[in-house]
A and B are shown apart, each in its own frame.
Chain A
Amino acid sequence: MVKKNVKLNPMELYNLLPKTNCRLCEPKTCMAFATKLALGDVQPDDCPPLLESGFEENLAKLRELVAPMLTAEETGIKLDEEKCTGCGNCVVVCPVDVAAEPPTSLGKAAMTEETVFRVENGISKIINLQKCRRFPPDRLNCRVCEQYCCTDAIEIW
């Protein structure tokens, strides 16, 4: 069994992309594509220019970098309440939260019980761990909450 400890650096991925911002992919810009690539939301083959001649080496390298994510099975997420300031960064960046309670995408505090994260009594709480995209059925290598937690209160393994 392979642990899901894959942490990809979006800048490293970005440097292997064509960097033309051709807008042919859904994220529209190469930086946005690299970020989604690091999270497992897109695959290297979703970038049309990468499939053209001249980018073979970059494509191969990117496939190699993201490959471990495809076999990941074990995961976990921990929130250190001592470090948490209740800033709500995790609420606003979590794709599940944004879908479950759309005003959070505009920076509003989560108020329903449908989100993964909700700031309660001054501290972020994981109220629906089972909805996290790292768990089945999605099993995505999403680490966006950890990535944007300024105080390192969130740890994913």
Chain B
Amino acid sequence: MKDLVCDGCSLLCDDVKAEYKEGELKSLGLCRLGHECLEVALKRNESKSSIRKSGKSVSASLDEAVAAAAKILREAKRPLVYGWTRSTNDAIKVGLDIAASCKAFFDTQASLGALRAFSSELHDMNIDYTLDDARNNAEVVIYWGSNPTESSHRHVSRFSVLPKGERIPEGVESRAVVVVDVRETETMKIANHRLVIPFGSDADIMRAISGELTGTSSIVEEVAGIPAVELISLTNKLKNSDSTVFFYGSGLFASGYASENLMALKELIESIRKNGRAAHAMPVASDTNTIGAMQTLNGSTGFPSAVDYSTGSASNSEGQNMHSLLLGERFDAALVVGSDIVATLPGELGACMSSLPLIYIGPPDGLTPSRATVFIPAGSNMVLTEETMLRVDQEPIQLIPFHKDGNGQLSETEVLRRLLHAVRVRD
């Protein structure tokens, strides 16, 4: 059994082992998602590059596909370079060089939601708390609009709820767990407080608790259908907890009330702190390197999203984002890396993307490879690379090459380096 780092989700578990012999994978510690990601990557047949000609996709050598992709990017007046939330920081940096070379517009899938939270006043581009801090200190753990049982299987067991920590001697018995969502979730089974709230009522409930905490208002009757006694009991937990952490999810920032919810959460955290208690917030992100994509982009260009190289240097116009530009038919080609965007983007955006000359670099599964003008397969980062991603708490985690052969496929970064070279070396 060899050590490896799982890139199945944003927890990047590095305490797991696996062995691959004669076509059979055995693993220890990998959750179902991680094991299946690894198994699919290892058992995938070698995939060929392809180029679409006269509407038909035909096989091509890697060199031919790279040359065709470079030609599309060089000839485009305003190409889009997009994806990246499942790519390594190293790959993202090469992608930025490509974007700069062809004066492209660069954006990541984090702009679809997580960026709203990360760039808001709640975080101001920095998460001031780690998952290890949660394990060691968090007495009250609140999942708000997130369901780790579905999205990050080991969140509860490895970090937030069940393990013992420096100030959590009894593990789960030393903590209180709160789950707030618009529906019953599996995670609610282990919660001391389960709040099923009406859609859109998050901010009202947070403000009611804030008011009770600071004494500026009192909860005397139900709020959004939640009984006063339940909310007062929760408030008392927050008053008495030395350390509280909110693990919020897309239910909070992708529900149509992002600004209001994030501001209310910030105020709630400040209210807890005014009582002399520690409180922090951290997203529960599903894509592997969502935080890394935003941080790498911000660190390299000064902007966490929507970087425009059309003038020759990185700039960012307020209000300009990939989605409005794509819908406005402002792009004439696209390079997408690592994300099956045709399948995952909202329908209208996916259709716009499909209508462009589309270069896709990534795994051969999903809809995007079949719609691409040029498809170049890339091997799994978990299998091939020793590059770095950021865990959801911004901790850098270096991957461990597990099976370097990788069915003969190159990593995303290596494919991108070849593309960068081809873009720079003009015909």
Interfacial chain B residues near A32, Cβ < 8 Å: 170, 173-174
Indicate if the CB atoms of B173 and A27 lie closer than 8 Å: yes
Of A29, A87, A147, the most chain B CB neighbours within 10 A belong to: A87
Q: Is A93 an interface residue (CB 8 A)?
A: yes
Partner of B36, one of A88, A91, A92, A122: A122
The minimal Cβ–Cβ distance linking B395 to chain A, given in whole angstroms, is 15
A-B interface contact total, Cβ < 8 Å: 114
**Known pairs A107-B135, A148-B172; A123 contacts B32 (CB<8 A):** yes
Of B17, B27, B156, B162, the most chain A CB neighbours within 10 A belong to: B162
Partner of A93, one of B27, B154, B162, B186: B162
CA distance A36 to B172 in the complex (A): 12
The minimal Cβ–Cβ distance linking B147 to chain A, given in whole angstroms, is 9
**Known pairs A32-B170, A87-B154, A105-B164; A119 contacts B186 (CB<8 A):** no
Indicate if the CB atoms of A119 and B31 lie closer than 8 Å: yes
Interfacial chain A residues near B26, Cβ < 8 Å: 120-121
B36 to A, closest residue via Cβ: A122
Q: Is B187 an interface residue (CB 8 A)?
A: yes
Partner of A86, one of B30, B159, B163: B30
The minimal Cβ–Cβ distance linking B165 to chain A, given in whole angstroms, is 8
* 20 chain-A/chain-B pairs, Cβ below 8 angstroms: A27-B170, A85-B153, A86-B33, A87-B154, A88-B31, A89-B157, A92-B171, A93-B171, A106-B135, A107-B163, A108-B15, A108-B158, A109-B13, A109-B16, A109-B28, A111-B29, A120-B26, A121-B25, A122-B31, A150-B187
* Residues of B that sit less than 8 Å from A by CB: 13, 15-17, 25-36, 135, 149, 153-154, 156-159, 162-165, 170-174, 186-187, 189-190
* Residues of A that sit less than 8 Å from B by CB: 27-29, 31-32, 35-36, 84-89, 91-93, 105-111, 118-123, 147-152
